[in-house]
Structures are given as C-alpha cells and as structure tokens.
Structure 1
Amino acid sequence: MIKIYTDTNYLKPEFRKIIFPLLLDVHFTKSALALDHFLLVETIETCDVVILPVAVNYYYKSKKKAALHQFIDSALAKNKKVWVYTAGDYGITFRKDVTVFRLGGFASKLTKNEAILPSFVTDVYTTLFSHQWEPVAKSITPQIGFVGQANKSIFKLIKEFVLHIKLSFLKLFNVSLGDSQSFYPSSFKRYQILKKLQDSDQISTNFILRKLYRAGVKTEDEKQHTTFEFFKNIETNLYTVCIRGAGNFSVRLYETLMMGRIPIIINSDMKLPLEEYINWKNHVVFTDAKNLVNDIVTFHNTHSEERLLFIQQENRKLMLGMFQRVNYFKAFYTFKNEF
C-alpha cells in the first residue's frame, strides 16, 4: 500500500478539473483499484509520497506561488518524495527537487525529474463499438491510416504564425503560462508528412484530411459520427501516423495503442512515458520526415505476420494495463523505488 499525503482543502468539486490525476481515483471516484494500492493519510510524517493537490498552473494564475513553494519545501524538509502536475499543451518547467508530471516537452530539454504522462484514453470497445477487438493481418504493403486536421493553406499557415507571435508575447509578460517553443505549424506539417506517404507507391494510405478540428462539428450527432469515423480508421489500418500537435506530444499515439494497432511516430524530440523501463521500439515505428517511407517499409518487411500480430496484442495490453491511470502511477512509484 502506497501512502500519500496532500492538502485536503483542495479535495473539493470546484477543483476537480485541475486536480492531480491520481486523486481523481483515490478521492473522487474511490475506485477499487486505487484503494487497493493507494491510501490517503492525514499526516505528512506517515506518507510515502507527498502530492501537490492541483496543477502548478493554478498557483501561478491565482498568484499563490508562496503557498506552492511553502507546501513543497515543507515536504522536502522532511525528506519526502514530492509529485506535482503541470497541465496544458506546453507544460511548465519547474526546477525543484520534485517529480514533475507533464503531457509533453522536448526530451533534450527535460530534466531527469520530469516524467511524461500518457493520455488516459477510454477503451472504445466498451463505449463506441459493439464488437470485440481483433488484430489485423499483415498486407503486402504497409496500410497506413490517419483522420485529422491537415491543411496546406498559406492562409492557415499565416494564421498559425500570428497565433504563435501572440502567445509568445503573452508569455513574455507572464499573461500566458507554459514553456516557450519555436514556431511549429502543426496542421501544415501534418499535410507535408501525409502527402509524402500518399505519393509513395510502396505504401497504401487511407487518409481523411480535415481542414478544421474535428471537421468543425456543431451537433452531437456530427460529433458521434466523426468520432466513430476516427476510431474506425485506426481499427481498419495496421499503422496510424502520430504527429505532435501544438504541444510536443500526441494523444493519437495512445488512441492507436488502445486500438491495438501500431503507431508511426514522427521524430520531434518527443519523450515517451516510462521510456527508461519500456522498450518503445517493440511497440511503435520511429521515423522522421527524411527517412519516412524507407523506415516504414523496412519495419513492415522485416517483421513477420506473427510478430506484427504480437505487437498489436502487446500495444493494447500496454494501454489496458500499465497505462490505465492508477496502474501508471503505481508502476512509476515501483520502478523509481526498485530500480
């Protein structure tokens, strides 16, 4: 049983959206799995790990930095491990002797104390689809899918650049939170990658390209239709292209793993969850814009159908197991304390 201590003044409904993710299960939903492995204790002296109750962003926005540092420093003074969470696409670099959980960031810039959170996605085989999961067979050429926003419009490119300048300006004056990064026109970059794949006669593509996010849906029926279309595309194809968005991470990566298919990750200096303990080369195809086609074809041709079926099973197993929220934090704690 892992004993955790936090500031219980924040364990209220109004803080639920910004609560440290594990506390959703331990306090709000009180899931059986969480309560089997984690216990909230009343005193800091009796805990194994201290958790900052809400995202770091809250303390910055609410001008409560003093309270933030006081809470952390009091835990460190007692030689306690401290976990904090920084939310948002960009994350906030937080240089204290604590573990910082964040969605993304640049591997070359992150410290050893910064840990990447997987996206805790829902299993659509229990919500959206009425049939059971099955792997797909190996085809002669790699069958690659993608559904999402990809736009070659110069107007869109200029719009993204203007938004980047605006955001950089707001960050300069501390109006907007999050680490700074260079200009990355995600929609335009996606189009370039996908076009290169479409133009190759060594690859079969099954792409649905959107000019707007979620095809600009406005009604609940439209949302359900595009959601079904998105996941059906992943299910149909052995591979799915996973490219970063505004932040340097891809939710699609975890959705593809959950669907028991093989993600193709386009290099963007991305760090993956628990990569010190997980051999990600056994789960995904790593490539970049320059070697895109060759890397995919080589991977496909050098893996037998039996091996590709095994990878699909292991990817789904990873998401249903270690990358469920409670299991992730339990695994993280165990790895850090036993290895």
Structure 2
Amino acid sequence: MLKLYTNTNFLTETYRRQVFPLLFDLVFKQHQKLLEKYSIVSNVNDANIVVLPLDYAVFLKQREPFLALLKAANTAKLPIWIYTAGDYGFTNFIPNSYTFRLGGFDSKMDKNTYVLPSFINDPYASVLTQGFTVLKKTNTPNIGFVGHAQSGVLKYLKDYTNHLKYQFKRKCNKILADKQWFYPSSVKRANYLKRLAVNEDLETNFILRTKYRAGSQTIETQLETTQQFYDNLFNNAYTFCIRGVGNFSVRFYETLAVGRIPILLNTDCRLPLSNQIDWTKHCLIIDASSHITIADQILEYHNSLTASAFENIQRSNRNLWLNTLQRDAYFLEIYKQFKTKK
C-alpha cells in the first residue's frame, strides 16, 4: 500500500473542484479498489509520498500550508505529488516532485511529469445503449468528426484576441500557466478536415460546428448533440483528433472509450503512461510536417492492416480505456509504477 501524507484541512466541499483527483476519489468517492492500494496517513513519518491537496495554482496562495508541506517532504526525504489543472498546466521546479497534468509539450516536460487522461464517463453506460461491437474493415477508410471547427479571418482574429488576453493575464500574474504560442485550433481543425473531405479515396462523415456543443443551452439539446457525437464515433472506424485550447484532445479518449481508432495530429503531445503503453498500436499519429499528405498517411495505415488486425485494434482500444485510462484504473497503474520506486 502507498501511504499518502497531505493537508486534509483542504479536502472539504469548499475546495471540491480543485482537489487532486486521486485524493478526491479516496475522500469523496471512497473508491474501494483505490482504498486497497492507497491510504491517507496523519503522520508524515508513516508516509511514502507527500501530496499537495489542491491544484498547484490554488494551493500556492495558501502560503503557510504550502510551505509546511514542502518542509515536511524535505525533512522526511519523500517525493511530492503535484496536480496542476486547466488547459495549460504549469511547470514547477520543486526538487523531487512529480507533476500530474492534462497536457503540455512533450519536448518541454521532464520524465517526472505524468499526463492525465481526460476522465470521461463510459459512453456505453448511458449514450450508446446498443453495446460495444467492432466494425468490419472496408476498402475505403471511414473517418468521423463532430465538433467545433470554423475557419475564416474573423474566427482567426477572435482566437488571436483571446490569446492576447491570456498572455496579458499570465504576464500580470493573474493566472499561473505555462507559456503558449498562438494556436488557432478551431481554424486549423476546419482546414485539415476540409482537405480530407475532398479526397475521393476517403469516406468522411464530418459535422462541423461553429460553436462548442453547437451552442446547446438546454438539457434537451445537450442530450441531442451528445447522442449525435457518440453515434458518429460509433459508426466510423476512425475519428480525427487534434488539440484544443490546451495541447491535448478529449476526443482522443472518447474515441478509445467507444473502441474506435483515433487519428491524432501530433502537436508535440505526450500521451498517458507512454513509458508502458506503445501508443502506435492503438492509434495513428499523424505528422503534419511530413512531405506525405495527411490523407496518404491515413490510407497507408489503413491498407497496412489485415481485417483481423483492424478488428483487434478496436477491441484493444476499448480494453485499454476500461482497464488503464478510466479514472480509477489510471491511478491503479500509477500505484504499480510508484510501488517499485519505494
């Protein structure tokens, strides 16, 4: 069992939304499988790991408790787990620390940075009531996408304005986040999808929105757009995935959960548990800078798969999400890795 020491005064309803995800599951959800592997101890001398209880940007403002935990970890010579939330995340330079974050740039993150999957509900538990089945391989790869993708000068300028606002807030220390270069994800997404849509060697089933979730404002329309989104994932073997505001794609994990094959545009991403998962066996990672077009990279990959391999990838992806990338499963994998570090 891994014994965690933290400041439990912050594990309350007041900070519920900012709590380190594992601590949330242990305290608020009391997840039985995780409680068999982790426990929270009241004495740092009994601990294996010190955990900052809240998102780093939030807990840093609690100056005395923050420094007290760092001192406790240093005195006991224990590693520190740090959670940094949000689209961007933040790189800290605290010695002997391990950072958990949603995204960031692989080339800029050290080996002690762990990428969290986007934790989503099982789509087969609520939306896709027909249950998981694999799709048979067809001669032409069928690619789906439903989501926000809008091109044009006005959209570009709007995104650039939002980027400048972010830069201003960051420089004024109003937000704690890593530096980001301008990346108009919606514009780029629309342009890539349009190129694929005109290729006669591909079967594309794209629904492009001009607003997130089609601007849904009622429960009924939210349910409708969610159903449409997951039906598109289910009915297409491949789904095109590209980063959003932050350098990660929620759609990537939604595709895996449905048991389909993500086509991920590589933007210097780091994927979860990359030290143990061979991601090339679960998705097609596209290099947009290659002299080979994106369409040709997709066709080459699709044609390289036998019918049985094509079906096996779908099963493997569904199992990967169930057994490794769901919230509890992910932290059970983290337990295995840190258990060996003791």
Point out where structure 1 has 5 or more consecutive residues left out of the alignment.
none
Q: Residue 76 of structure 1 contacts residue 82 of structure 1 at CA under 8 Å; is this kept in 2?
A: no
Deviation at 1:267, TM superposition (A): 1.2
* 2:21 matches 1:18: no
Structure 2 residues not aligned, in runs of 5+: none
Q: Is the Cα–Cα contact under 8 Å of residues 215 and 226 in structure 1 kept in the other structure? A: yes
Match of residue 85, structure 2, among 87, 105, 113? 87
Q: Secondary structure at the match of 1:322?
A: helix
Describe the superposition over 1:277-304 as per-residue Cα deviations: whole angstroms up to 9, x where unpaired. Answer: 1100000001133431121111100011
Q: How many Å apart are 1:66 and its aligned residue?
A: 4.9
Per the TM alignment, residue 65 of structure 1 is displaced from its structure 2 partner at its CA by: 4.0
Q: In percent, how many aligned pairs have the same letter?
A: 40
Give the secondary structure class of the aligned counterpart of 2:145: strand
Runs of 4 or more above 6 Å deviation: none
Q: Distance in 2 between matches of 1:211 and 1:138?
A: 32
1:110 Cα deviation (Å)?
0.8
Residue 146 (structure 1) aligns with: 145
Q: Where does residue 241 of structure 1 map in the other structure?
A: 240
Q: Does the alignment pair 1:265 with 2:267? A: no
Question: Which stretch of structure 1 is more off in the superposition, 249-258 or 43-52?
Answer: 43-52
Is 1:68 matched up with 2:98?
Answer: no
Amino acid at match of 2:189: R
Q: CA offsets, 1:175-213, max 9 Å, x none? A: 122111110001100011101111212211000000111
Cα distance, 1:257 vs structure 2: 0.4
Other-structure match for 2:298: 296
Aligned partner of 1:32 in structure 2 is: 32
Separation (CA, whole Å) in 1 of partners of 2:179 and 2:300 = 36
Answer whether contact 1:244 1:250 (CA < 8 A) is retained. Answer: yes
Q: Relative to 1, partners in 2 of residues 1:336 and 1:298: Cα closer, same or farther, differing over 3 Å? A: farther
**Corresponding residue of 2:318:** 316
For residues 311 and 338 of structure 1, what CA distance do their matches in structure 2 show?
A: 30
Q: Which residue of 1 aligns with 2:55?
A: 55
Q: How does 1:184-203 map to 2 (within 5 A)?
A: 184-203=183-202
Q: What amino acid is the match of 1:267?
A: N
Cα distance in 2 for partners of 1:336, 1:17 equals 25
The normalised TM-score by structure 1 is 0.96
Q: Deviations for 1:305-334, whole angstroms, at most 9, x for unmatched residues?
A: 101111111111111111122221221232
In the alignment, the residues of structure 2 paired with residue 218 and residue 15 of structure 1 have an alpha-carbon distance, to the nearest angstrom, of 27
Letter of the aligned partner of 2:42 in structure 1? Answer: E
1:6 and 2:6 correspond = yes
Measured after TM superposition, the shift of residue 337 of structure 1 is 4.4
* Higher mean C-alpha displacement, 69-78 vs 136-145: 69-78
Question: Which residue in the other structure is 2:307 paired with?
Answer: 305
Residue range with higher mean Cα deviation, 166-175 or 224-233: 166-175
* Structure 1 contact 265–284 (Cα < 8 Å) conserved: yes
Q: In structure 1, what is the Cα distance between the partners aligned to 2:147 and 2:324?
A: 27
Q: Please say if residues 18 and 54 of structure 2, whose CA atoms lie closer than 8 Å, have aligned partners that are also in contact.
A: yes
Q: Tell whether the 8 Å contact from 2:322 to 2:329 is kept in structure 1 after alignment.
A: no
Q: Which amino acid in structure 2 is aligned with residue 52 of structure 1?
A: L
Match for residue 173 of structure 1?
172
Paired AA for residue 303 in structure 1? L
Contact 2:2/2:339 (CA < 8 Å) preserved in 1?
no
* Residue 218 of structure 2: aligned partner: 219
